[in-house]
Structure 1
Amino acid sequence: MKRVILLCTHLAALFSGFMLGIYILPILIQPDSPEFNTKTLPTEQISMVGEFSKDREDSDFFHWGEGKITVTHNSVMFIGELAPGPDYKLYLSPTYIETESDFNTHKADMLRIGDIKTFDRFLLSLPENTDLAQYTTAIVWCETFGEFITSARLFPPSDT
């Protein structure tokens, strides 16, 4: 009986350590966040703005984001905070998304912008000839685990 208890406690410790590693490793290996200030951007350069929130339907204690996202004709900038995690991607969608099932249903219609490597700010280039008028939502998605992190409705800057 003691061996079974010992085995169970060791397996639980191993599993806990593995899960903690998945959470902490991205924090330890993240590069320095880019330096930029969206407040100094001329208004005519800003195409859309939005806000990530922890209040999305499929966001939870481990999968969330909050902060402001700014889209120009050639880049996407974020200032705020994302829950740390591996393999985050930024997508633009023509449909509002706030659940994993919605994401998976509409993924074929989405534009993958790029990898998110930092959790407080990011700056990603848009693919050339991106028609921003097609997209209404920005989504942060964990590709490895298929987890919804957060989303933001995008609006022209005068509508916010």
Structure 2
Amino acid sequence: MKKTLATFIFGALVGVPAGAFLWYAFSPLLFDEVVVESLTEAEVVASGTFRDADRAHQGQGIATLVALPGGGHEIQLSEFQVTNGPDLEVWLSAHPDPASSSDVADNPWVGLGQLKGNIGDQAYSVPADVNIADFQSVVIWCEQFGVLFSPAALSPPS
């Protein structure tokens, strides 16, 4: 009886935290968060197409850096979709075309906020003190695990 109780207690002490972590890390893969924001018509400064970072972290859609009519800039994501995950953020990266997590982490970046949803049109304000000329790509980044989910290299309109 004591051995059964000790096994149960040990299983609970190990199983509950492990189960909670696994739910936190992998449950976003089971659910999509759809966002439908109205995107402001503005002057296009640069744009790029999201692509897969690898087989597990996939993305598609358009990232557009726009100059707003009243001043300031924002990143607009349109026709956007990315593999869902924990703690996803939208970053501007100085790397011109990141292909790996180290390409992003080893270069200057600025966070624009938590990803609002893994599917749909959405916009993110660029802080006024950011020199947009210093940044050449938009990335979807998992802050919790330091992983690149999807990059979009920005280039001026042609």
Normalised by the length of structure 1, the TM-score is 0.71
* Structure 2 portions without partners, runs of 5+: 9-13, 68-72
Contact map agreement 1:89 1:140 (CA 8 A) in 2:
yes
Take 1:138 and 1:126, find their aligned partners in 2: how far apart are those partners? Answer: 11
Residue equivalent to 2:118: 119
Letter in 2 for 1:152: A
Take 1:34 and 1:95, find their aligned partners in 2: how far apart are those partners? Answer: 29
Contact map agreement 2:32 2:84 (CA 8 A) in 1:
no
Residue equivalent to 1:60: 55
- Alpha carbons of structure 1 residues 29 and 110: separation in structure 2 relative to 1, 3 Å: same
Residue equivalent to 2:102: 101
How do residues 18-57 of structure 1 correspond to structure 2 at under 5 angstroms? Answer: 19=22, 22-25=25-28, 30=33, 33-37=35-39, 41-42=41-42, 45-54=43-52, 56=53
Q: Aligned residues: percent identity? A: 22
Take 1:114 and 1:22, find their aligned partners in 2: how far apart are those partners? Answer: 19
Q: What whole-Å deviation, never above 9, does each CA across 1:138-158 have from its counterpart, x for those lacking one?
A: 111100111111111101122
Runs of 4+ residues over 2 Å off in structure 1: 14-30, 34-38
Cα displacement (A) at 1:103? 1.9
- Alpha carbons of structure 1 residues 29 and 84: separation in structure 2 relative to 1, 3 Å: closer
Residue equivalent to 2:76: 77
Cα displacement (A) at 1:25? 4.3
Cα displacement (A) at 1:105? 1.5
- Alpha carbons of structure 1 residues 33 and 134: separation in structure 2 relative to 1, 3 Å: same
- Alpha carbons of structure 1 residues 84 and 29: separation in structure 2 relative to 1, 3 Å: closer
Contact map agreement 1:34 1:123 (CA 8 A) in 2:
no
Take 1:102 and 1:68, find their aligned partners in 2: how far apart are those partners? Answer: 21
Whose Rg is larger? 2
CA RMSD of aligned residues (A): 3.2
- Alpha carbons of structure 1 residues 64 and 100: separation in structure 2 relative to 1, 3 Å: same
